[in-house]
Each structure stands twice: as C-alpha cells, then as structure tokens.
Amino acid sequence: MSLQGNGSNHNRRPVIDDESDAFSRFKNSADYERITGVKPHSADEDNLTGEDAERAQKLKEAIEQENSSAYEDLDDFVYRQNKKRHRSTGGRHHKHKKTSPSVLSPSHHRHRSPSSHRHKHHFHKHHHHRKKMKKWQKIAIAVIAFLMALIVAGVATVFIMVNMGRGQLTDKTGFNIDVPKSASTTDDGNTITYKGVKYKFNDNITSVLCMGIDKESLSTVDGQVGTGGDADSLFVITLDLSNGKTKVLNISRDTMTDIGVYSTSGGYIGEKNAQICLAYAYGDGKETSCHNELVSVRRLLYNVPINNYLSLDLQGIGPINDSIGGVTVVSPETIDEFKKGQKYNLQGSLATAFVRARSHSTIEGNNLRMERQKLYLQNFGASVVSLTKSDISTPFNIYNTASPYICTNIDASEVSYLAVNAIQGNYGEFEIVNIPGKMKQGKTYNEFIPDEEKLFEIFLDIYYKPVENAQ
C-alpha cells in the first residue's frame, strides 16, 4: 500500500496501490482478528462471497482509516520538528533526512529507491508559507455547514408540515351530518337537499372552537358536580382555506343541548340536556374538558367535523389586551362602571370587566354580554392587524403573553399552514354571527332555545355551497 500526498499535510488521503493489497497482507495476521473481530481466513479474496467478502471490504476500509490517521499524525509531527529547527537555524537551509516508514507500521512502504529521494517542500515553512487553520476558522466553517443543512432540512420540513397541516385542518374522518327533518341527504351529508335546493359540503372549510373559561365557580347538573369551570364564551371560527373568508359563529353559553356528564372521579354517567357551557365543567379543566365541550358543540351543529379547539382562561384577557397597548371601545350598554355610548380605552382589569360583566336583573343579560364580547373581538382584531403592518412581531408577542392561559390541540403543522396562508394575504376581515333563538327562565338556570330553522340555514351558509335546484 502506498500513501500519496497532495501537497498539504492535513488533507492527504491514502490510496490503495494495485501492487500492495491490504487483504492479502493482513488476512493471516493478528491484525485481521483485531480489526474485524473474526479469526483470519485462509481463502483467497477473489473467491470470497457473502459474509467473507463483506469482512474483506471492512478490513480494507479499517486499514485505510488507520494508515490515513497515522500518516497525518506523522506529517504534523515532522512539520512541528522542522518548524522548531527552522527557528533554531535562523532560517538557514538544512539537510533533508529520510523518514522511516516504520513509524506507520512494518508493512508501510514508500516504493522508491534510496537515490530517488524527493524534496518534501511542504515540510518547510520557508518554501511554502503554509498556515495552519486556526481553531475559530474551523468552528466557523462547521457552523456554516450546519446552518446550511438546517436551511435545507427546514425548507423540506416546512413544506411537509404545510401539506400535513392542510390535511389535518380539513380532515373528515367519521363524517356523518345529522340533518334535521326539514332536510334530506343520501351520502352522509356531503350533499343536502333543503327547500328545493341541493347543497354540497365545502371541503375547504376548517373550524376551530374557541372557549373563554371561567374557573371560579362549580357547576351542577342533576346533582352531579363539575369542577373544571364553565365555558362562558363559545365561538366557532370557520375559515375557507381556498379564499380566506372567515366567519365566527357566536354560541350563547345558555344554549340548551345534550352534554356528557361525568363523576368527579372521571366515570361517565350519561348525556343530560343542560346549558352547553357546563360541558366544560365535567373534565380536568384542560384537555378532557375541552374535548367534552367540543363534542357538545358538534352535536349542536349537526355533527359537523370540528377537530380543533383553543381554550383561554379569562384571567388572561387583561395581559393579552395590554400586550397590544389596550383596546378602545364604545360601550353599547350601561353596566357596572361602563356607561352606554361612552368611549373607553380598556387596560388591564378594565378589559376583563368589559368582557365578563353580566347583568342578572334581566333574562337577556348574557345576550347583552355577547354583544360586548363581539364588539371587543372586532376592535381587538382590527388593532392586531394595524399593529402587525408596522411590527411583524406583534402576533408572536400576543402568543407569548397568552401561552400560560391557553389549552389547545392545534399542532405545529396546522399552525405552519395557517401562517403561510396569512403571509400570502389570504385572510381579511371576519363576520360574527349570533345564533337566533329565545331566552327563558328554566328550573335552575336561564335557558337559550335556538331557532332550529334559522340555525340550520346559518349552518348551510357557512359549511355548504348551493350547486343546483333539486327540482
């Protein structure tokens, strides 16, 4: 085997000579067993097959690596010795001495005659002003290479996540719309016929259930106590991914529907007709509460596939409000410290009071609060859009402030898809729609009874597109 340099002490690479075969030199030696972990094999390399051939190749590579490392160490050693000698001789040209190959291994050969000694210029700094790469330069190169790898991997990862995100956001697993008696369907709700018009489900629609949680009270349904808190605010945000059209369906906390009731130990008791906000109470105040509330909202909306949720502890309203410098509103009613028609720049606890205050002197107390919440959300959204135009970090600041108060199942791939769409300018203003109905005083709580016909028509308007007259 011969080692051939390229003029640089640290970049030389060994080349296996045709005349010197590593396998034949080592296959009957102790080195073979040391390197490969198996005893020497007496067969010729040309006749080796299967595992023997793999061991032969493994041996060659191991020997190459050992010799390469040894030769580089030798070059470094000789370079340092010559550098010292050069300083001691004041730069005078010194005689050249041959270096014995025995420092590598007994089997290392230079393959040249004594009379053909070659001048190793790269041993002498005064011949080639070679400079060793400094440690910080090596580190810089490694960092740059790593960042380039991250960029390539990052682009691929974002591409994959964006595509995964869209698929998850529009997932229709278990799709089966439970239409009311006034409508009909023949394919699990993908198409619906209502009042002589055929509608087709919009596969570009995604929905997120957003909940404002009050954890300061206990709830009771038929003697069963729920400790997770109440979902005082319920909004279903629907987004058409094809055009960015956004609608927000505002659901009254007092809406009567079937909810899942659980014992304090988590055992399922059954479904009870109760205020929809109480579904959240029968859970852990986090994931299981969110899931129970999500099931109840789906049931109210004909089993539409709402897959994502986000809950916000109402204690976080003040900090989030202040993260954008406050929100300015004109109060639509007189309640507590707020006067109808008066303008307020909401800060801290004042923002929380504006969103949470509810009159108990009228059965319409929650409906009036919902109007204030609707007004606040619209003004908050407008402020965020305006601030983001001048400071792109605004959404990140809001998220960082909100994080301690949030529970959500929206994952990174879904966020990636929504973020890309936002960057492309696909989102604009949104419309908030209230479910029509009537309030009444129940045995224990105020009860909101939705107008079934109008609710279904709102549902069709959000999730379906008319395709043709059925007649």
- Highest mean pLDDT, choosing among 211-225, 290-304, 436-450, 456-470: 290-304
For residues 104 and 219, membership in a common domain is answered with no
For residues 31 and 81, membership in a common domain is answered with yes
Residue 184 lies in a domain: yes
pLDDT at 309: 92
For residues 246 and 120, membership in a common domain is answered with no
Secondary structure of residue 344 in the 3-state scheme: strand
Residue 159 lies in a domain: no
For residues 216 and 73, membership in a common domain is answered with no
Whether residue 280 contacts residue 293, with contact meaning beta carbons closer than 8 Å, is answered with: yes
pLDDT at 14: 38
Check residues 424 and 171 and name the one with the higher pLDDT.
Answer: 171
For residues 335 and 426, membership in a common domain is answered with yes
Total domains in the fold of the chain? 2
Whether residue 356 contacts residue 399, with contact meaning beta carbons closer than 8 Å, is answered with: no
pLDDT at 447: 92
Percent of the chain residues past pLDDT 70, beyond the cut: 61
Provide the pLDDT confidence category of residue 359 given band limits of 50, 70 and 90: confident
Query: pLDDT by residue (tens digit) across 67-88?
Result: 555 445 545 554 555 555 555 4
Indicate which CATH number applies to the domain containing 362: 3.40.630.190
pLDDT at 80: 54
For residues 190 and 301, membership in a common domain is answered with yes
Whether residue 419 contacts residue 165, with contact meaning beta carbons closer than 8 Å, is answered with: no
Q: What is the distance of C-alpha 270 from the center of its chain? A: 36
For residues 340 and 456, membership in a common domain is answered with yes
Residue that terminates a domain, selected from 83, 115, 132: 132
**Of the candidate ranges 333-337, 408-412, 431-435, the one whose mean pLDDT is the lowest:** 408-412
Residue 155 lies in a domain: no
What is the biggest distance separating any 2 CA atoms in the chain, rounded to whole angstroms?
Answer: 114
pLDDT at 399: 78
Mean pLDDT of the chain: 74
Residue 254 lies in a domain: yes
For residues 115 and 240, membership in a common domain is answered with no
Query: pLDDT by residue (tens digit) across 454-463?
Result: 999 999 999 9
Q: What angle do CA 378, 379, 383 make, to 5 degrees?
A: 120
pLDDT at 124: 44
Residue 238 lies in a domain: yes
For residues 398 and 302, membership in a common domain is answered with yes
* Phi, psi torsion values for 313, nearest 5 degrees: -65, 130
**Alpha carbons 222 and 211: distance in angstroms, whole number:** 24
Q: What is the distance of C-alpha 402 from the center of its chain? A: 17
pLDDT at 38: 57
Percent of the chain residues past pLDDT 90, beyond the cut: 33
DSSP state of 126: T
Residue 61 lies in a domain: yes
Check residues 72 and 94 and name the one with the higher pLDDT.
Answer: 72
Tell me the average pLDDT across 191-217: 91
What letter represents residue 290's amino acid? Answer: C
Query: pLDDT by residue (tens digit) across 14-57?
Result: 343 433 444 444 445 555 565 555 555 444 444 555 566 676 67
**Of the candidate ranges 24-38, 312-326, 366-380, 406-420, the one whose mean pLDDT is the lowest:** 24-38
What residue numbers bound the domain in which 264 lies?
170-469
* Phi, psi torsion values for 89, nearest 5 degrees: -100, 5
Residue 137 lies in a domain: no
**Alpha carbons 397 and 222: distance in angstroms, whole number:** 43
Cβ within 8 Å of residue 458, ≥6 positions away: 249, 433, 435
For residues 187 and 112, membership in a common domain is answered with no
Token pair for 384: 């965020």
Residue 116 pLDDT > 50, yes or no?
Answer: no
Tell me the average pLDDT across 374-384: 86
pLDDT at 98: 42
For residues 333 and 437, membership in a common domain is answered with yes
For residues 431 and 342, membership in a common domain is answered with yes
pLDDT at 135: 56
**Alpha carbons 414 and 427: distance in angstroms, whole number:** 15
Provide the pLDDT confidence category of residue 192 given band limits of 50, 70 and 90: very high
Q: What angle do CA 431, 434, 438 make, to 5 degrees?
A: 165
Residue 205 lies in a domain: yes
Query: pLDDT by residue (tens digit) across 302-341?
Result: 999 998 998 999 889 999 999 999 999 999 999 989 999 9
